[in-house]
Amino acid sequence: MKLMRVGPAGSEIPAILDAAGTVRSLEGMVPDIAGDVLTPEGLARIAALDPAQLPAVTVDRIGPCVGRVGKFLCIGLNYADHAAESGLPIPEEPVIFTKTTSSIVGPDDDIQIPRGSTKTDWEVELGIVIGKGGVYIDEADAMDHVAGYCVINDVSEREFQIERGGTWDKGKGCDTFGPIGPWLVTRDEVADPQALSMWLEVDGHRYQDGSTATMIFPVRVLVSYVSQFMSLQPGDIISTGTPPGVGMGQKPQVYLKGGERIRLGVEGLGVQTQNVRPAL
């Protein structure tokens, strides 16, 4: 299934994309694409519905594909070739940081350059959406805890992240820095999350062109690893890292200033398009 949320920001309704590409409302069937709706039992109830019997909706805006996200967790340097372009060693264990949930926006919403930014950057990533909660999850059981996957642009301000002291978080959690969607694609529709092509373009120039096959720590390892340090709940998101081609890795470096148009996608999970607005 391809689940989504459509409508004005803050007033999105749950929806499903049918096999013909028609968006159909799930309003009245589920409260939101969030929380317990993402558990195996919740997804089974949606799967039992006949999309043809659901009303078609006109889409003016696609919202974030998951509502009321509890934790927005990210994995740093999870592609060997991206670590190399960053001049950093391959991690021996996954690097975990967080993005604020207030950074989350729809897949085609504008990105706002923050005040004082000199190095706003892009990162196409595969997002894991948790469906079954748990803690101390065994790797052998990890995939049972995944509701599905989505596209994420892990927008990052590199000066804030690297040069301003402290942790990475201050360069990762600015408003609009977390576009997710357009869809949450349920796990049954993704045969192998470690074999998905992914790409990102700025103003038509392709900077990133990679594959989840080059992840250092695959999905099952990440779900298990993160759960050793915190419980995971339905609707939590883990963004799994980016392949090479970020602005920081260009020679010379290239950063967003405002006025650019970004397009990015992950195979089978849809495409995002964002206009970049200059700082207020």
Tell me the per-residue pLDDT of 99-138, one tens digit each, with 9 for 90 and over: 999 999 999 999 999 999 999 999 999 999 999 999 999 9
Q: Which structure tokens are listed for 64?
A: 């974030």
Q: What integer pLDDT is reported at residue 84 of this predicted model?
A: 77
Query: CB–CB of 38/234 below 8 Å?
Result: yes
Q: What integer pLDDT is reported at residue 173 of this predicted model?
A: 96
* Residue 86 pLDDT greater than 90, yes or no: no
* Residue 96 pLDDT greater than 80, yes or no: yes
CATH 3.50.50.60 fits 72-277, yes or no: no
Q: What integer pLDDT is reported at residue 140 of this predicted model?
A: 98
Cα gap 26→5, rounded to integer Å: 9
Q: What integer pLDDT is reported at residue 89 of this predicted model?
A: 84
The Cβ-side half-sphere exposure at 102, using a 13 Å CA radius, reads 5
Confidence of residue 275 (pLDDT cuts 50, 70, 90): very high
β-partners of residue 175 are: none
Across 1-15, 70-84, 247-261, least confident range: 70-84
Q: Report percent pLDDT > 70 for the chain.
A: 100
Confidence of residue 168 (pLDDT cuts 50, 70, 90): confident
Q: What integer pLDDT is reported at residue 167 of this predicted model?
A: 81
* Location of each CATH 3.90.850.10 domain in the chain: 72-277
Cα gap 92→9, rounded to integer Å: 40
Q: Which structure tokens are listed for 277?
A: 């607005």
Across 160-174, 209-223, 245-259, 265-279, least confident range: 160-174
DSSP string across 132-188? S-BSS--GGGGGGGEEEEEEEE--EEHIIIIISSS-GGGGT-STT-EEB-S-EEEGG
